Structure 1
Amino acid sequence: NFMEDIQMMLGKRPLEPFWFFTWCISGPIITLVVFFSMIIRFRTPTEGNYEYPPYANALGWLMVCSSIIFIPSIMIYELIKAWKITNNPNYPVKRVFR
């Protein structure tokens, strides 16, 4: 749908294989690699000799995860919504093949 909207606005279809690869394959993979490498390389933050308490670390991770959690949650929501629509017995394509 997005590529069709771009085609309608520009009058031509942009490099579809490139954008598909960028948005659907490399973008999510790079995001996951960066996120998990951040988790693996995490060290407790310090200021000189002062080490921050555990609740400060938890608050920091909560802020990080609160901005990232929307991406997989929307993906799961859209997959469930699409599954419910296509498994509906009144779905037009299913009626054609009965």
Structure 2
Amino acid sequence: MTGGPSGREAARRLAVYGPNQVRRREKRSLSRLLSAQLLRGLIYLPPLRDLFGTAALPWDVLAIIATFAVIVWAADELRRRRRITRPVRASAKDAQGAS
């Protein structure tokens, strides 16, 4: 059992598939995310209720729904950033301790 493909196979895969890289998600601005949330709420506006068959919700409920989505998104982004930066901090401390 080997540790990986042979040199010939690795060269073939590189030619066919390209270098092995992690694709990054496109960063979206806060204004773009907020506008997307507002657009999702448009189906509850009175002129569009019949068209989309949505229920008539009071404005205070709509405000809570829109706010909740933004809060969940923000909490998820903070959790992701914390998870991404945590290993960097640890490796930086290791590098300082090694020197």
Higher relative contact order (CA 8 A, sep 6+): 2
**TM-score normalised per structure 1:** 0.44
Name which one, 1 or 2, has greater alpha-carbon Rg: 2
